[in-house]
Every structure is written in structure tokens, then in C-alpha cells.
Amino acid sequence: MEYATYYARFSWFPKDHQIYLNLIPAILQLMLVVTNLFILVVFFRRKWFGGVNLILIGMALSDMASVVLLLVSYLFALTLHIHSVDPQSEFQIHFLCITYKYGTNLSITFNMTSIWLMMFLGIVKFILVRFPLKAKLYTTSRRLLMGTMTIYLITLLYNVPRYLTDNYDIAAKLYPRKLKETGSFYCAIKSIKDKNFQMFLQRDDLLIRSICVHVIPVVVLLCTSTYFCYKLSKRSYDFSPTPASKRSVKIVTALTIVHLISEIPFSVFFCLQYYMVVTKQPLNFILENGYQLIFALYVLRFMNYLSNFWVYILFNKKFRDTCRSFFCRCRSQAII
């Protein structure tokens, strides 16, 4: 196949937004990395490591991995945006294009992992609540670990084409027009020359992602969360639940509801994107407010990633006690 180089324009910041609005994603991402690191420190302890916590560890890793490299690129672009540096400087082009390419692809990869792990968690907890006696035989720590690792492997394999079909051309010249647009930058993208092949890949990717990554998980989690809410409201279990079981159901229910609040808008957005690609009928509202919509959707997603820590704090007394003892120990060591 023949390859061609074209220039793609990228921008993180919606037009006419105040600077403090552009700082919101960076602050949320930094908080997300810190809180998920703390979750990993707690859950990797011997008394916490095992069972459903293995899925929660996988979620914390995927949530954090989905923003780390993207955060580096975002902070760099934000610095240039604040200081109104010429967006066409060579250093900006190479740094931002490389980090944007890999940061975006990694973010997509690990976001898919996080969504499927959330669905996996909902299904496992549903089985544990609905079939408590039989479920203990099938939801051992080893099998949950294997399921988590399998989800990681599937998402990595699924996203391999993203790293191969759309590459930053590091040998290309800088964008020739030298347009000075604050907050924007141009990348030389080396891609397959056949437009029909590109459209085929884009259309199929949107379809598969809309169905498998958004629609199916949303439907499954809506069903499981409805079941959990019914059980919690009616207090009618198929077995005599322990306080730990009730607490676990509350945690999973809260995580699911927060996840759905952030992912349902994303699901609608991707379905509309697929509609526009297939029918070739652009929706003016999305075209005119594209930056604002994507900005708001990503803020929602970062808040979803960040909420896990606060859900554990709110519903899990053991987690609160662990946090308290950890911070008290750090404080006493700092005083000494």
C-alpha cells in the first residue's frame, strides 16, 4: 500500500474559554494519579490483596495509565497556551505530536480496559449476590486475576492497529503555512493513501467501539445496578448477608452509578459519530460545539476515574481506617 503525509490540526482548549477552565482537566488528572497510587498502595497489602479487590486493582491501574502520558502532553500544551508561545516551533511539534499520538492511543486502550473491568466487576458481584453458594467455587482469586489479565490482553490486541495505521512522520517538514493559533498545533501524519481503506477502518472501528465498548457495557451495568438497588432497597437477599457483603454491594452499586453518569453521554456521542460517518450527514450541533462537547465529556470521565477513591472512603470503614493510619504515620515521621 502507498502512504501519504498530511497535516492534522489538534487543540485541547475550547475557544473563548477562560484559562481557569482549561486548568480543570489538569487538576483532575493530577488528583487522579495521586489517589489511584494510594489505592494501589492499600490494595497491594497482604490483607487486601485477593478476591474482588484484584479487579479494583486492575481498574486503578488502567485509570491511572489512561491519563499519565496524556497529562504530560496536556500540561506542556497548557504552558505554551498560557504564555502564548508560537505554536509552530519545532520543539512543540515534535514533543506534542509524539506524546499526543501515544498518549491518545494509550488513553483509548486503558479506558476500554477500565470500562470492561467495570462490567466484569458488576457481573462478578451479581453472581456472588444472586448465586452465593455456587459463585464461591467459580470466583476464586486466581480466576478473577486471570479474568482481569485477559481483559488487559484483549484491549491491547484490539488497539494494536491504532499504533500501526496512523503514525507521526518525524521526518516531515513543519506545517508550511505557519499559522499562529494559540493552543493549536499541527502534526505530520503518515497514513495509508487509499481513502476508501481509511474510511473502512474508521467506520468499522467506530461501530465496534460503539457496540462493544459503550452500548453493551452500559446495558449490562444498568441491569446489574438496578438489581443491586432493588436488593438494597427491599433488603431481600437470597442468603443471610454479612456486613462485609452489604458493604461490597453498596460500593459496587455506587461505582456503577458514577460510571454510568460519565459513560452514557460518551456512548451517545460515539453513536452519533458513527451515524455521521455512515450517512455522511453531519450534525451541525456537534460540528459547531465539538471542542466544548469533547472537553465536557473528558472532564466527566476524569471525575469518574477520581470518584473511586471517594467511594471507598465513604462506604468502606476499613479503607478509611487504613487511610487514617497511613497519614498519621507519615505525619509522625515528618515531625520526628
All structural domains of the chain, each given as residue ranges with its CATH number in brackets, are: 3-322 (1.20.1070.10)
The 184-192 sheet, strands edge to edge = 3-11, 184-192, 166-168
* Among candidate residues 116, 129, 148, 98, the one with its CA nearest the CA of residue 234: 129
Tell me what pLDDT residue 118 has. Answer: 92
Average pLDDT, the chain: 78
| SS3 at position 87 | coil
**Looking at residue 321, what is its pLDDT?**
82
In this model, does residue 61 exceed pLDDT 80? yes
Confidence of residue 242 (pLDDT cuts 50, 70, 90): low
Higher pLDDT, 196 or 138: 138
Angle in degrees, 0-180, between the axes of helices 243-279 and 290-315, rounded to the nearest 10: 170
* Residue 18 DSSP one-character state: -
pLDDT recorded at residue 241: 59
pLDDT of residue 150: 95
Residue that wins the pLDDT comparison between 39 and 17: 39
Which of left, alpha, beta for 67 (phi over 0: left; psi -120 to 50: alpha)?
alpha
* Average of per-residue pLDDT across 82-99: 63
The answer to which of 44-58, 121-135, 187-201, 225-239 has the lowest mean pLDDT is 187-201
Please check whether residue 271 is in contact with residue 211, taking contact to mean a CB–CB distance below 8 angstroms.
Answer: no
Q: Assign 334 a pLDDT band (cuts: 50, 70, 90).
A: very low
Among 319, 209, 210, which residue's Cα sits nearest to residue 254? 319
201 vs 308: CA distance, rounded Å: 34
Q: What pLDDT does residue 196 have?
A: 53
pLDDT at 179: 56
Residues 331-336 have a mean pLDDT of 50
Q: Average pLDDT for residues 188-202, to the nearest whole number?
A: 61
pLDDT above 90 covers a percentage of the chain that reads 10
